[in-house]
A and B are shown apart, each in its own frame.
Chain A
């Protein structure tokens, strides 16, 4: 018995060693959204500071044969053993993956930063801090969880911000059954963005447009799927709103397009980047069909805004979109130079606490 086991295990190890050595190595992992480790160059310095050997370890792990199949095996095995919580994600009902919200530590700092920032601006400042799927779709979550209540954070922001806070929670909760959040991704769907948009219009005294929705993709596996690689999960669908306006869009001052969307992402893994072409430091959107030259808004945001901005673009002549993780110049100067009348902070509760950009806005 020990003989058989030893022989099989030794055989498996030898086969994998050979496969590891001889199989061609991939450069980029679509599911992990990162470049895989390259074989490290030897240097004495690298050897003594540990970087060379840790890179070697990473190289072996990153290029281990059938890596993603093994991840899938682990996730599925754990799922069948009754473990409905993996990689900070809860398995919810109806195929919903719900990303855990942990107790935040930077609420006070962020609120103070936004308040200070706002005193230096001539225009109106609004903050929309949006809850995520685990809060709105809490009926899909097992009542036995250790999730932190997002409502506490939203209330803190609402009570302590000295600027206008747009509270989208009730509108989203009322419409929770309308597929407001993706099942396999941490973002909201265009429907979720739409109900938040209704709340936005209410707060800004705008007349909301009754958009038609058009499906652009029906085989979307998002960021939460990527952490688990469970292929039995349902696909998500991506929708856009029908908008006949013409736009001139500048992405980081060097790519000019006439669309708020990038279709090429729909044939890749990271389909959410279809909205506003993934991440850019600065995007300027000019609405050709708008006559009111003084109507502008600047949005300081995270990726939730990417599917929200196409809903408000009809209402403004100019929209400036800034991602403070990549934009390091003075936003205050930009606002004043461009005579922006309204500033909107749009973030989701889950990622704002760790966001690398918002604490250094200036």
Chain B
């Protein structure tokens, strides 16, 4: 089930919230758990078992880490647990990637027919963070299995983040305040995310798909428009989903960490990665970069650490070489900025550095968007070495979809920190946007047949 669907908004969510608010506090986690499993099982019934497996695995490991006193044995226990977690993730996500690459080397193995459980990259990392934090004695072992499964499977952030650490919800799992003010804030936050996803991301995504439908003859401007719409789409899609997750969390009494902080107004790539998918970069920093030595070892060692972390970040995003390339691309830029580029950038005017950052971010999305290297190459050529700069198709795209581009740009900027709007105006706008959102969701399911099928 997805948040931006009629069945979630009008059936699942209202029924869930009614039951959740009515039952006494001691049953709230149970209700949340049941509905979360229903939510996840709606799309993937068999994969509920994976959620249960991860919960059991890491819960038991947490108990063992508490019982065992020997430092060496504790470390082995944690490593084995993490290894099992990662093996399950690798099995589902990277087996065929591995097979394809072995085949390139000459072997002839057939791919296995396996479907990727939705959100597995998120909840695997979420579960592992608990075990590592217990090992580090940063959080206390959980003795309440019900609360623990609820932590792993809570539906707001289960499928698309933010990656929530146990310490973010430990207190609230045991006792949390649910009041009207939190509810109103939660609904408002949820609506922000819903509008970003349905009104902006979906339409920008559609624009990207029609521009890239057939790239053999596109003009340079069309190619640029395409990748800009992709850049905007992915931001509104991802941050929209995070907004909805955080908003839902607030409605339930939880405080999830933020995941995006206007990443497109930055003036360096270093700054970009402090504002984009923050829970993931923090995860890699705390659980991979720092254990490897971070920047507290030799220059060469630090270089190695950065490259490893970014290669893994790329790989986390997808089982394909272009994602690894994307990760390394940023890793290298970050190394350059850290070592001398940043000093140079600090001397330049903000306008220049902003353009510098946006340019590199967009090129990054280019690598991210095309898994097929040949298509990537061709698109790159069309952007930079194209004899055709402007054509009627470009004007067509721009004329029809400029409103989404303009709104996309405006809402990437924190305009509402400076501008205060009239409250009545905002109320009317939000309600109208909600109605148009429903209309868009309905329209997506509208499916006329030219010929009556019998």
Known: A77-B436, A146-B393. A48 touches B45 (CB 8 A): yes
Q: Which residues of B contact A34 (CB under 8 A)?
A: 447-449, 452-453
Q: Which residues of B contact A351 (CB under 8 A)?
A: 450
Across the interface, do B442 and A20 meet the contact criterion of CB distance under 8 Å?
Answer: no
Q: Which residues of B contact A204 (CB under 8 A)?
A: none
- The reply to whether the CB of A42 lies closer than 8 angstroms to some CB of chain B is no
Across the interface, do A226 and B443 meet the contact criterion of CB distance under 8 Å?
Answer: no
- The reply to whether the CB of B178 lies closer than 8 angstroms to some CB of chain A is no
B residues contacting the other copy or chain, number (CB 8 A): 55
Q: Which of A1, A31, A58, A77 has the most CB of B within 10 A?
A: A1
- The reply to whether the CB of B26 lies closer than 8 angstroms to some CB of chain A is no
- The reply to whether the CB of A5 lies closer than 8 angstroms to some CB of chain B is yes
Across the interface, do A13 and B9 meet the contact criterion of CB distance under 8 Å?
Answer: yes
A20 CB contact (under 8 Å) in B11, B13, B46, B450 = B11
Q: Which residues of B contact A3 (CB under 8 A)?
A: 180, 184
The residue on B at minimum CB distance from A88 is: B210
- The reply to whether the CB of A110 lies closer than 8 angstroms to some CB of chain B is no
Across the interface, do B439 and A9 meet the contact criterion of CB distance under 8 Å?
Answer: no
- The reply to whether the CB of A2 lies closer than 8 angstroms to some CB of chain B is yes
In chain B, positions 407-435 with a C-beta closer than 8 Å to chain A are 423, 426-427, 430-431, 434-435
Q: Which residues of A contact B440 (CB under 8 A)?
A: 74
Give the interface SS of chain B, mostly helix, strand, loop or mixed.
helix
Across the interface, do B403 and A82 meet the contact criterion of CB distance under 8 Å?
Answer: yes
Task: State the Cβ distance, A20 to closest chain B Cβ, in Å.
Answer: 6
- The reply to whether the CB of A6 lies closer than 8 angstroms to some CB of chain B is yes
Across the interface, do A61 and B396 meet the contact criterion of CB distance under 8 Å?
Answer: no
Return the CB mask of B149-181 against A: 1 if under 8 Å, else 0. 000000000000000000000000000000010
Return the CB mask of A57-71 against B: 1 if under 8 Å, else 0. 110111010010011
Across the interface, do A84 and B400 meet the contact criterion of CB distance under 8 Å?
Answer: yes
- The reply to whether the CB of B183 lies closer than 8 angstroms to some CB of chain A is yes
- The reply to whether the CB of B43 lies closer than 8 angstroms to some CB of chain A is yes
Return the CB mask of A131-174 against B: 1 if under 8 Å, else 0. 00000000000111110000000000000000000000000000
Q: Which residues of B contact A71 (CB under 8 A)?
A: 439, 442-443, 446
Across the interface, do A33 and B445 meet the contact criterion of CB distance under 8 Å?
Answer: no
What size tier do the contact residues of chain A reach? 35 or more
Q: Tell which of B56-64, B134-142, B185-193, B223-231 binds the partner.
A: B185-193
B187 CB contact (under 8 Å) in A10, A31, A145 = A10
- The reply to whether the CB of A53 lies closer than 8 angstroms to some CB of chain B is yes
Give the distance in Å from the alpha carbon of A309 to the alpha carbon of B439 in the complex.
41
The residue on A at minimum CB distance from B393 is: A146
B6 CB contact (under 8 Å) in A5, A61, A85, A103 = A61
The residue on B at minimum CB distance from A273 is: B452
Q: How many A-B residue pairs have CB under 8 A?
A: 149
The residue on B at minimum CB distance from A66 is: B442
- The reply to whether the CB of B438 lies closer than 8 angstroms to some CB of chain A is yes
B210 CB contact (under 8 Å) in A62, A81, A83, A146 = A146
B396 CB contact (under 8 Å) in A32, A146, A186, A270 = A146
Task: State the Cβ distance, A32 to closest chain B Cβ, in Å.
Answer: 4
Q: Which residues of A contact B450 (CB under 8 A)?
A: 33, 186, 223, 351
A31 CB contact (under 8 Å) in B43, B436, B438, B448 = B448
A144 CB contact (under 8 Å) in B6, B42, B187, B396 = B396
Return the CB mask of B227-248 against A: 1 if under 8 Å, else 0. 0000000000000000000000
Q: Which residues of A contact B6 (CB under 8 A)?
A: 57, 60-61, 64
- The reply to whether the CB of A50 lies closer than 8 angstroms to some CB of chain B is yes
Across the interface, do A70 and B403 meet the contact criterion of CB distance under 8 Å?
Answer: no
Give the distance in Å from the alpha carbon of A1 to the alpha carbon of B425 in the complex.
10
Across the interface, do A5 and B191 meet the contact criterion of CB distance under 8 Å?
Answer: yes
Give the distance in Å from the alpha carbon of A213 to the alpha carbon of B172 in the complex.
77
Across the interface, do B10 and A16 meet the contact criterion of CB distance under 8 Å?
Answer: yes
Q: Which residues of A contact B434 (CB under 8 A)?
A: 9, 12
Give the distance in Å from the alpha carbon of A2 to the alpha carbon of B440 in the complex.
23
Task: State the Cβ distance, B110 to closest chain A Cβ, in Å.
Answer: 23
Across the interface, do B191 and A9 meet the contact criterion of CB distance under 8 Å?
Answer: yes
Q: Which residues of A contact B210 (CB under 8 A)?
A: 146
Give the distance in Å from the alpha carbon of A74 to the alpha carbon of B441 in the complex.
9
The residue on B at minimum CB distance from A1 is: B423
B400 CB contact (under 8 Å) in A32, A85, A279 = A85
The residue on B at minimum CB distance from A4 is: B427
Across the interface, do A9 and B431 meet the contact criterion of CB distance under 8 Å?
Answer: yes
Closest 6 CB pairs of A and B: A61-B445, A6-B187, A74-B439, A70-B442, A144-B396, A73-B439
